Every structure is written in structure tokens, then in C-alpha cells.
Amino acid sequence: MIKKLFIILLVSLCFLNTNLANDTTKITLKTYSAEPYQGELFRLIGQVVSNLHYRKFPIDDKLSAELLDNYIKHLDPLHLYFIEADVEAFNKYKYTLDDDLLNGKADAGFVIYNKYQSRLEERINFTFDLLKTELSFDTKDSFLYKREDVKFAKSLSELDKIWVNKIKYELLALKTDGKDFKYCAETLKKRYNNLYKQLSKTKTVDVFSFYANALTEITDPHTNYMAPRQADDFNTTMSLSLEGIGATLQTDNEYTKITSLVKGGPAEKSKLVSVNDKIVAVGQGTDGEMVSVLDWRIDDVVGLIRGKKGTIVRLEILPADVTIKKNKVIEITRDKIVLEDQASKSAIKTIKRKGKNYKIGTIDIPTFYLDFARASAGEADYKSTTRDVKRIIKEFKDSMVDAIVIDLRNNGGGSLQEAVELTGLFIKTGPVVQIKDAYGIVSSEKDKDEKIAWEGPLEVIVNRFSASASEIFAAAMQDYGRALVIGEQTYGKGTVQNVINLNQYMQYPDRKMGQVKITLAKFYRISGGSTQHRGVIPDIEFPSIFANKEYGEDASKYSLPYDSIMPESFTKNKTISENLSEIAKLHKTRMTDNVEYKYLLEDIDAVKKAEMDEYITVNEELYKKELAETEAKNKARKEAREAAKAKTKSNADLILDEAHELIIDQITLATPTKKK
């Protein structure tokens, strides 16, 4: 994803000091041009991704056209800045960017960016002029906010009409809190003035980064160029030694989106934010000014959110739940993010069925972690997923549990070594995952330790955000028939990346070149199919509120495709597969009468309907009416849902509750087989 700057200011409630007039006259925007070394650096990045990437591709006219389209898309994804004539003018580069890449020229990227900056400046000034007089909100106009597939405006006058409705909607989002037009207009002016200031802070290295990432992304979504500052932030994050809220962030159009939460981190513990929530504004302390971060660079947003342990940061959030029509402001106390916070945790629950008690042990694994530094130093007490799980299993055995559930929901991966060794706790020996590199050479990672930590009934829970190493472990357990896999289809991230420091190829005195994170290989199951793109399909699959095309590997048109290779030789336990149809029937029967399952289906249906809406009314009376109806409906539904939970004595974790029932099904159905 490009670390881009500014695209669109869509919606949100920002609580800002309004005593500031338009002072953009003090700001002079630069015209950018490539520095001499950047052309050479652009060529080097092209050579690296062309020669080393898993997906070999020539630097030709096809690549040139894709690069141009992708760059325009990332600068103006919602078609709110460029007009048709601009794009037509850019088409002169359509079949020449490949030649520029080979010849070490990055000038076209700067020319296009300068035009983008000029158009953005026009839109900001248009907004200031528009807000000089009070606008009418009694027309039946609407704003089309799903604009990725619309055509560019044919003229500036056509674009002006679009922006009038856009600004009206932003004002309505502010007016819903009872503020008058003057307050809302001044608030919006300050927001756009702040955007203008951020635009003026752009550096040549930023423009180059936008352009270089437009190139790297068309190879696959996990390959990207990191300018020196981003590279330093990446290395800091990988060290797990930072202070903040414990969230991974990503640019998503004009927003900064939360893509994952560190288990045990402040954000996850707060229960106030969710994956795919979008950050609209950031404030320091309990009463610091809320600063809009729409269209900010990702590293600047991270800089605002990160801070010393014990301090408070306030976030204005646009919830991921599209049925919620209003933003919320939350407080999170920063803390140090350390490896221990992500350690595996366990719990034991006793379930009674037909007069018999079953003790089920659950192990929640938030990530596949390994304290490599301490392990390499020979320290005996280093932390690792496998070591912690092995210890927990021993405790479970001492407590005489009947079965174990491994919970990998929202586990985004981590150490491949740990995924392999964890698999080894549940099988005797054998292959765990196959890896095919860019040259077609296939190797495999194997468990060679014959010791088995747990031979009893086993279950693995996954969801849409279980990725990479999680998928390797779940796939191996499924292929071996060692565990019943339940939950949602996983993310589908079946690729291997490595980071290349570009200074090893190109050296300038006292200048860092940055890094390229590049995809070098693909993961394959021991049964032959790739985990890439398709992920792991559970044996018992739950419907997901997260659409595959928006939250997963297949959300990007540049993701590597699913394919298969020859399977490995391994021995499969057929007990689960032989009983799977009966287990599925029992599950279906339980879900028929499960109140929480019905609510899940209703949630999914509500999200689908909300996502079909493309227009937002800018009629104040109608807007407030729709908002009130939505809030009343959500409130009544929440109350009814809580009442149903209290009556049935169920908790909010539908899948974990059902996991306990499913593993008891495994035990009871397998028992007759054992007696034969």
C-alpha cells in the first residue's frame, strides 16, 4: 500500500478549536523534481523486483501501463481531484515509463504529482470560498461516496458540483451534534487549512516513495519500498520494543486504518477499537486538541499516536461496522509493547452433556513469537510459542482435560519456525509446509522430533484475520486429520517476504537509500494446494461479517493467485473425516436453535445492505431522520440481544462456545471406534 499523502476528506466529527481563519496565504507549495540519485534508485528498485520477486515479469509496455494506472489510482482513488483532461494528458506516459525505469529516470512521477498537488490546492481554495456563505440543506441532493469505479469529471465545473455535495455532507456530519453553521464551517476551514499545511511539508523523498510504491505494489500487495524513515519505523516495530497503543496501521484511501491489534496491548485491552476501524483524528491527553489526520502520511499518524508509557491518546474512530453511522472518540492509555504481552494464554472450562462432565482446555495464541536474540545467546528461559504451549499442555494433563482447543483468531502469523515446531507437538514426525521459491525449487519444513505432547482430541479455531504462520499450522492440522478446524475462511497470505537494504547495492555519502520488502516464495500445504489467496477453508465453517473481497488477500487485484504443486508423502488420521458429516449435522442442528447465531446472520445481512448504499443524502431533515432511525434500531437490537444472552446464559463468543460442543462431538463419535 502506498504511503501516500492526501486524497479526500470524506466524513467525520472533529472537535476542534474554531478560532482560526484561513491562513493559507502564508503557505507556498513547492514544485517537485527528482533529485539526481533518485532516477538511479528507481532503476535499482525496478531491477530488484523484476529479478528477485517470486513473480518474474519483464519491464515492458504492459508494466508501464499498469504503473501509470496504479499511480493515478493511489493519488486520486475516488476521482475527486483530477479531471478527464488531466488523465488524458498523463496517457503520454502510458508506454514510456518502462523505458524511464530502464534508463534511470523518475521525472514522470514528479510531473504527475505536481499536477495532483495543484488540483488538491484548487479544491482546498474552492472549499474556503464555498464556506464564506451559509449553504442550503433543504434540497434533495446526495453525495456519491463510493467513487472508485466512477469516471473522472469531464470539467472543473462538473467537479465543483460534486464538491458542493461533498462539503455539505461533511458539514452535516458536524451539525448532527447540534452545532450551528458558523461553528461547523470554521471547523471545516481549520481541517482543510491543516491539510494545506501538511501538504506543504511534503519532501522530495515522499513524492519518490509514492511513485516507487506504485511500481512495487503491482508485483503483489506485500512488496513495497520503504523510504529511510519508514524503514526505521518498520525495524522498530519488528523489534517489539516501542511504546504506544499496540495497533498496526495502514493507509486506506484518505484514512488510516487499523489492520491488527497486538494481543495484550493497550488498544486490544481497551475493547474500544476493532480491526478495520478508521482513525479520523488524534488528540493528546484528556483535553488536547483533536487533530484531523485524514490524508496524512502513515508515518506522521504513527508519530502522533505513539508516545510515552502512561500518557493518554484520544482517537476519533469511524467504526468498521458500516451499520453505525456516527463516529466515536475514545481514550487509550499508552503502554510499552513487549513480547510477554503476546504470550499464549490458557483456560479450562467444564461442559456438561447428558450427565457427563467434559473438561476442555483452550489455548489462545495471539502470534507465533520467538525471542530470537535470547535464544541465539543460549539463554535457557527465552520465550517462544512452542515452549509456552508445551508448558500449558503439561498443566492441562495435570488437570486431566479431555480435549484441547487452539484459538488462532486474529493471529496474523509470525515465526515460521514456531509454526513448524508447534505442529510437531501434535504429530509424530513428517512434513509441515512446502516452500517454492522464485526459481521453482521446492523445499519443505519438517518435524523431526518423534515426541508428541498431546495425542487426544484437538480443535483449531480460525477467522478471516488468521494469516501466514497461522494458516500453515491450521492447514497442517487439517491435512494430517489431527484436528477439526472451525471458524471462518482465513486471510490467504501464503507468501514469504524478505527485506533488502538498498544501500548494499547503491552507496551515496551520508545518504540512506531505504529498503525493499519483497516477496520471494510461496507456501504450499503438504497436500499440494497453496495457502495463498484461498487460505484455509474450515471443516465447520461459520459465515463471516467480513467480505472476502474487502478483508483478505483477494482484496488486491495484484495478489498472487492460488495454485498447487505435488503433495508430500504423509499419513493422515481419518477419524475426523469419517465422522465429519455427522459432526456437521449436529452443528447445524445446534445453530438452528442458537439465538446468537441468528443475530450473527442478521449482522451479516445488515452489513451487506449497508454496503450496497452508494449515496448519502445532503438534505438535513432527511439525514437526521435516517441517523436517528439507525441509532434507535441499533440500540433496540443491542438491548434485545443482551436480554437473549442473559436468558440463554450464553456469552458473546459464539464460535468458542460451539467449539466446546464440537470437540465433545468428536469425543463421543470417536469413542465407539476406539472400542472396536
Report which of residues 100 and 283 the model is more confident about. 100
In sequence order, what DSSP letters do the residues of 539-582 get, joined into one string? SEEPP-SS-TTTSSGGGSTTSPPP-B-PPPP-PPP-HHHHHHHH
Please state the rounded mean pLDDT for residues 247-276: 78
Alpha helices per DSSP H over 338-464: 372-376, 385-398, 416-424
Question: Given pLDDT bands bounded at 50, 70 and 90, which one contains residue 341?
Answer: low
Q: What is the DSSP letter of 442?
A: E
CA–CA separation, 356 vs 304, rounded Å?
55
Indicate if the pLDDT at residue 676 is higher than 60: no
Please state the rounded mean pLDDT for residues 327-348: 80
Q: Quick one: pLDDT at residue 651?
A: 64
Indicate if the pLDDT at residue 674 is higher than 70: no
Provide, for the chain, the percentages of residues in helix, strand and coil under a 3-state DSSP scheme, each rounded to the nearest 5: 45, 20, 40
Q: Quick one: pLDDT at residue 591?
A: 95
Please state the rounded mean pLDDT for residues 549-561: 86
- For 356-367, the pLDDT digits (tens) are 999 999 999 988
Q: Quick one: pLDDT at residue 12?
A: 32
C-alpha cell at 88: 488524458
Q: Quick one: pLDDT at residue 239?
A: 41
Nearest to 471 by CA among 518, 523, 393: 523
Residue owning grid cell 531491477: 47
Q: Quick one: pLDDT at residue 231?
A: 66
Q: Integer distance in angstroms from the first to the last C-alpha of the chain? A: 57
pTM: 0.84
Report which of residues 395 and 249 the model is more confident about. 395
Question: Given pLDDT bands bounded at 50, 70 and 90, which one contains residue 24?
Answer: low
Stretch (H or E) spanning 525: none
Report which of residues 25 and 265 the model is more confident about. 265
Please state the rounded mean pLDDT for residues 535-552: 87
C-alpha cell at 660: 466446546
Question: Given pLDDT bands bounded at 50, 70 and 90, which one contains residue 67?
Answer: very high
- Three-state DSSP state, 218: coil
Question: Given pLDDT bands bounded at 50, 70 and 90, which one contains residue 47?
Answer: very high
Alpha helices per DSSP H over 324-365: none
Indicate if the pLDDT at residue 568 is higher than 80: yes
Q: Quick one: pLDDT at residue 338?
A: 63
Please state the rounded mean pLDDT for residues 21-40: 80
Q: Quick one: pLDDT at residue 26?
A: 67
Indicate if the pLDDT at residue 495 is higher than 60: yes
Question: Given pLDDT bands bounded at 50, 70 and 90, which one contains residue 340?
Answer: low
CB atoms under 10 Å from CB of 428, counted, come to 13
Question: Given pLDDT bands bounded at 50, 70 and 90, which one contains residue 3?
Answer: very low
CA–CA separation, 463 vs 28, rounded Å?
49
99-108, 266-275, 335-344, 635-644: range with highest mean pLDDT = 99-108
Q: Quick one: pLDDT at residue 302?
A: 80
**Strand ranges, E, within 341-483:** 345-353, 356-364, 403-407, 430-437, 442-447, 458-462
Residue 44 burial (CB < 10 Å; 0-12/13-18/19+)?
Answer: middle
Q: Which of 52-56, 311-315, 333-337, 432-436 has the lowest mean pLDDT?
A: 333-337
Report which of residues 586 and 342 the model is more confident about. 586
In sequence order, what DSSP letters do the residues of 176-192 get, joined into one string? TTT--HHHHHHHHHHHH
CA–CA separation, 513 vs 502, rounded Å?
6
Please state the rounded mean pLDDT for residues 564-573: 96
**What mean pLDDT, rounded, does the chain reach?**
87
CA–CA separation, 662 vs 461, rounded Å?
11
Report which of residues 605 and 407 the model is more confident about. 407
Crossing angle of helices 595-612 and 620-648, in 10° steps, is 160
Report which of residues 117 and 290 the model is more confident about. 117
Question: Residues with catalytic annotation?
Answer: 468, 479, 493
What domains does the chain contain, in order, with CATH numbers? Answer: 24-222 (no CATH), 227-337 (2.30.42.10), 350-597+652-675 (3.90.226.10)
CB atoms under 10 Å from CB of 84, counted, come to 15
Indicate if the pLDDT at residue 627 is higher than 90: no
C-alpha cell at 512: 540512506
Q: Which of 108-122, 482-496, 634-648 has the lowest mean pLDDT?
A: 634-648
